[in-house]
Structure 1
Amino acid sequence: MADELSLIGYRIGAASIGLGVFSTTIDLLHACKRGYDAWRGLEGLDRDLSILRAKLVLQQDLLEQWQRDWYGFAVTDSVSVTKLRLLKEHNGTVELALGSVHNLIDGMVSLREFAHSGRAPSGIERAKWIASELDTSRKSLNEITSLLEGLYRLLPPRSPNLEAAQAIISLNDHGEGSDAIETVLRSTSRQAIISGTLNLRRAERSLQQELQRRVTEMNNGPPTVELVITPARCQVGEEDKISAGFRRFGKLDGRPAIIEWKKYDRRWQGIKRTELDGRIKNLAHLLHNESKPEELRVLQCDGYFDNPADSRYGFVFTLPQPSEGYPISLREVIGDKSFDHLPTLEERYQIAYSLGLSIAILHTAGWLHKSIRSHNVLFLKQSKRPVWCRPYLVGFDYSRPDGRDESSEKPEQSKRFDIYRHPLSQGTPNERYRKEFDYYSFGAILVEIAGWRPIWDVWADGTPVETFKAQLLATAEQKVPHRMGRDYAEATLKCLNGELARRDCSEQKAFFIEVVEVLGRLIS
């Protein structure tokens, strides 16, 4: 009852400010969006116009990010009422800045119409007109950038990692404009998350081109690249029992390491074996890439080796230092009722956000994980406690590039692993694996983090997969809000119910905006 009275009080406080005072601001934001969208949809542009459009797209993405932070929140507590008061205090300045931005975008309409239709003054005057319009538009861009930067200093974005947002949102859903956006990002940003994500994308494309060459040439010999590890360097030790045989602890050149197994069928020959070998090589290179962003929470892959006697490859990951012993999995700590080093609420938010951001970066690089579950989330230990703020996503044995022509291996059937998988990705026949299935698995982990209890504990033998999905959804709707708050619960529901795939923008962009960003704000 007290909570309800508090909420009523907050709403009364918001009403007293007068929400209608922001109507002009909202109208200006919509007007700016229409102007940007008109550029966003253009295709077949030459280099100069492509770069111009890319810069406008990046401006729009950051402005929309800022709008979500400052004009897309619910009035639920005293903090949100304080935000409303701050907005009212600066409303005149915001309107003036947005009005100027809108006018500058409108001033570029002649060049935009030329880009759309190709119509312009003929003869010698045509070239002069185009050069003049380009020069004027570039000056307008600089003025818009200056205005928006001032706006962001006045009311800073609330995203915990604005650079990650720029890299992930801007590199998706832009079709042929993606190359120009990469060019602009590389030339204008010095942020490690942006350069690391771009490097990862570039490495993935290069690796796929190399794999296609090998398939074309039918080169069936074993990989001979520098990441192949000789048996003498690697000691394979005890099994990580929580992994059901997929992971062992060991050493590489005397350093603590983890070995993850990737099984294969020794009967595979020809193109199928070439593709498998190439995918193993590419995945090792991707996880070895030293320029990958730190926000991608994966262990450093030092190489791989073939274990033909057991028909499996071993990926070898060395552990960051300092670290006490071998890491512990999320599944292990939430399943151990005697475990006394529990994370705080803020640390659980951090775990969720870090994992969500890692999935978003992995998808931006062009890969699907396919085995997201709490068994594959590891924590290093220091002072006998898990380092909660730095989870590591492992278990890449079935990962593959996200492409239409990529073959998809079906993970081994296991009831305790299947409960993390989307119903459509289970059984025979099953649908081609897609991003939505990774998001569903992440949603299952979010339920576990909320209750600090493995979902295996609530699964009953013989429960149909759709019935269990309904149980997860019911838990996310009824119990998770009490434990983690409404925002966390809604992010969880969106992962589980598949609604992200029904957005007008790309599913990947929707996941970042509606899930990762939301989780990030909980820790800020």
Structure 2
Amino acid sequence: MDPITAAGIGLSITSLALQVLSGCKKGYELFVEMGGMPTKYRHLRTRLRIEQTRLLTWAEKIGLVEELLHEHSRTLSLNQNLILDILLEIQFAFKSVVKVTNVYDSVVPQHEISANTSTNSQISILRRTLYHLENPSKAIARLEWAMVKQEKFEELIMRLIGYNDRIESFLDRSTLQDLRTSQERSNLLLLQVSEQVGQLRALVDAVQLGTSRGRLPETQRLSRSSTLAEPENAPASPFADLVKFKLQQKAMDSAGEDLQMLLSSSLLFPNGVPGAEPRTKTKLYGKSLWVEWSESVPETLGISDLVQMSEDRVSKLAAMLGSPNKPSAFRGPHCLGYVRQEDEVVGLRFGLVYDASSSLDDGTVGVRIQSLRDLLQGTRKPSLTSRMALARQLTESLLYLHAVNWLHKGLRSDSIMFCSPIEHAWKDKDLEAPLVSGFEFSRPDISEEITVKTTSRIEHDIYRHPDLLSYANLRSQKSHDIYSLGLVLLEIAFWEPIEVVAGISLTRKGARAAILPIRDNLLTKSFRGYPSMWDALAAEMGDDFAEAVWKCLRGGLDIGLPPKADEADPQTGARIQEAFYQEVLTRVQHGYR
């Protein structure tokens, strides 16, 4: 066969596949927006949404969109017949569970090309995903539950999972990783807007439904000798753990029971209670621990019911940080519980107790516990690779913390810990295993959640957004956490504490007034012979890293936050999350270039 004829046949098959894909999209829309579905099947609808997004994503990745047909796609050209077969199977799968097939055929013509079948970029896919989450009732037609063979519905979902898995297995490793990243972003949007316990339970069940990988019956599997299957040891997404964690958080907020997280102070401190230092190292049953103390409860909270409210908050926080469902992506240390200390010197304060050895080998004799601030002040500048890895870990940690609507409120170099065997010398590689602590005032990001104000300390205030320092009654928000992250990234880049980078002495008179304009100074003034801090940062870490830090410091529209928007609103949170992923995390992940 001559090349021109072969190319023509290939184009015809691709064009047909595009038409069938259009029918598959409409099939998904019909079933996702189906009316009259009983509540017990809600998790299946949720799983359909996830598989719908997977379909849209891989279609773009293999070039099966109208705008990309003129570009050569190796995956599409090598597997076009198999892809067409699978798309036909998807369309048939939808049709096979409808009792009256002519109703389905009237809505989903076999060869219709919709004007909206394609997308120009991954951003448009994510925007469409968010649009459907915000507008769940806008379907092209209405399919009712009574029209569906209910006993076949779950089998349909499993088949769709299997078909998506099969097409994804055609992709090379690089493209597959891009696809996983795109899917993770879509899943995080879904998690961000799921606030009710019922929605989260459905999401947990939907994710668990996919753990079987949607295996197709032997008679329905398609042969594919020319492609590599997805490796069994592929890195797991933290999405399932994030969903379970958020559900546990919601359930705990409404339960109101005694969580029994209070530990004995006499066991932890047999030689007497410690002084007023913010962090205390100790041992219990041979384990190396550290205790992070909250500031003393202010006198205005001395009323018994408010003190109890504060202790309840600490107890819940300890339970969440010690939960087996806590995602490893949080990079949080394992919390054993909390202690209560009250005396004439320090007043009343609570301490979260962390296990310093939980992330180390069982045979470790002694544990070295250091903060990032300790390292900034006492070690040489580590390699660029190690600093980049640390920056990525911390940025991912904040992304996932915000994905479950939890605020940190105390992100600074002093709250980033490193635990390493004391018998080994410190290595740059140890930077790649940070533990994010400093959660003593964390809270869910919901408007009705009571905020416990922190006691002002200048070494902490320098990391806080200027708005929090200027307005006493302002609530902490996600954008404030992101600003604090930007300052920590600056410290990692130059390997200096932020007050050194900013040229401020925290011990001199007037230091508190000097920290108020720190944000404006960093964004507008020259720095160490460079026209701006951005230029110095780019020279040290690369343009992408510099731009990521700039987005954190500027905030606002740079992180998806319109003026006067309510950050506690799930839709606003979803936009901040998507902008943070795209504009900050992705740039940090790109590294030096």
Report the TM-score range of the alignment, normalised by the length of the smaller protein.
0.7 to 0.9
Structure 2 vs 1, CA of residues 297 and 328 (structure 1 numbering), >3 Å: closer, same or farther?
Answer: same
Q: Which amino acid aligns with 1:483?
A: E
Aligned to 2:338: 304
Measured after TM superposition, the shift of residue 347 of structure 1 is 1.3
1:502 equivalenced with 2:565 (yes/no):
no
388-397 vs 291-300, greater mean Cα deviation? 291-300
Of the three residues 165, 168, 177, the one matched with 1:149 is 168
CA distances 1:482-502 after superposition (whole Å, capped 9, x unpaired): 222222222222222222233
CA distances 1:294-331 after superposition (whole Å, capped 9, x unpaired): 22211111121211213111221121143754311111
Contact 1:398 1:409 in 2 (8 A): yes
Distance across 2 between alignment mates of 1:99 and 1:175:
38
1:330 equivalenced with 2:399 (yes/no):
no
Aligned to 1:82: none
179-188 vs 297-306, greater mean Cα deviation? 179-188
Aligned to 2:320: 286
Structure 2 vs 1, CA of residues 476 and 188 (structure 1 numbering), >3 Å: closer, same or farther?
Answer: farther
396-405 vs 48-57, greater mean Cα deviation? 48-57
Measured after TM superposition, the shift of residue 114 of structure 1 is 9.6
Distance across 1 between alignment mates of 2:298 and 2:503:
32
Contact 2:372 2:417 in 1 (8 A): yes
Structure 2 vs 1, CA of residues 422 and 45 (structure 1 numbering), >3 Å: closer, same or farther?
Answer: farther
SS of equivalent residue, structure 1 residue 388: helix
Contact 2:55 2:164 in 1 (8 A): no
- Alignment coverage as a number of residue pairs: 464
Contact 2:418 2:433 in 1 (8 A): yes
| Structure 2 gap ranges (5+) | 1-14, 64-70, 96-103, 109-131, 213-235, 505-510, 525-531, 563-571
278-287 vs 411-420, greater mean Cα deviation? 411-420
Distance across 1 between alignment mates of 2:187 and 2:445:
18
Aligned to 2:217: none
Measured after TM superposition, the shift of residue 127 of structure 1 is 2.8
385-394 vs 478-487, greater mean Cα deviation? 478-487
247-256 vs 345-354, greater mean Cα deviation? 247-256
Q: Which amino acid aligns with 1:274?
A: Q
Structure 2 vs 1, CA of residues 235 and 59 (structure 1 numbering), >3 Å: closer, same or farther?
Answer: same
Larger Rg computed on CA atoms: 2
Contact 2:486 2:549 in 1 (8 A): yes
Aligned to 2:264: 230
SS of equivalent residue, structure 1 residue 326: strand
CA distances 1:355-396 after superposition (whole Å, capped 9, x unpaired): 122222323334211000011111123422051110011111
Matches within 5 A, 1:352-431: 352-382=391-421, 383-385=424-426, 387-431=430-474
1:253 equivalenced with 2:285 (yes/no):
yes
Contact 1:173 1:506 in 2 (8 A): no
355-364 vs 169-178, greater mean Cα deviation? 169-178
Aligned to 1:448: 491
Of the three residues 193, 197, 216, the one matched with 1:173 is 193
| Structure 1 gap ranges (5+) | 1-23, 72-85, 215-222
Aligned to 1:469: 519
Distance across 2 between alignment mates of 1:53 and 1:117:
17
Aligned to 2:49: 57
Measured after TM superposition, the shift of residue 139 of structure 1 is 7.7
Matches within 5 A, 1:67-106: 88-90=73-75, 92-93=77-78
Structure 2 vs 1, CA of residues 51 and 138 (structure 1 numbering), >3 Å: closer, same or farther?
Answer: same
Distance across 1 between alignment mates of 2:490 and 2:272:
30
TM-score (norm 1): 0.73
Structure 2 vs 1, CA of residues 453 and 115 (structure 1 numbering), >3 Å: closer, same or farther?
Answer: closer
Measured after TM superposition, the shift of residue 134 of structure 1 is 5.4
Contact 1:238 1:249 in 2 (8 A): no
Distance across 2 between alignment mates of 1:250 and 1:67:
55
Measured after TM superposition, the shift of residue 481 of structure 1 is 2.0
Structure 2 vs 1, CA of residues 120 and 302 (structure 1 numbering), >3 Å: closer, same or farther?
Answer: closer
Structure 2 vs 1, CA of residues 137 and 445 (structure 1 numbering), >3 Å: closer, same or farther?
Answer: same
Aligned to 1:492: 549
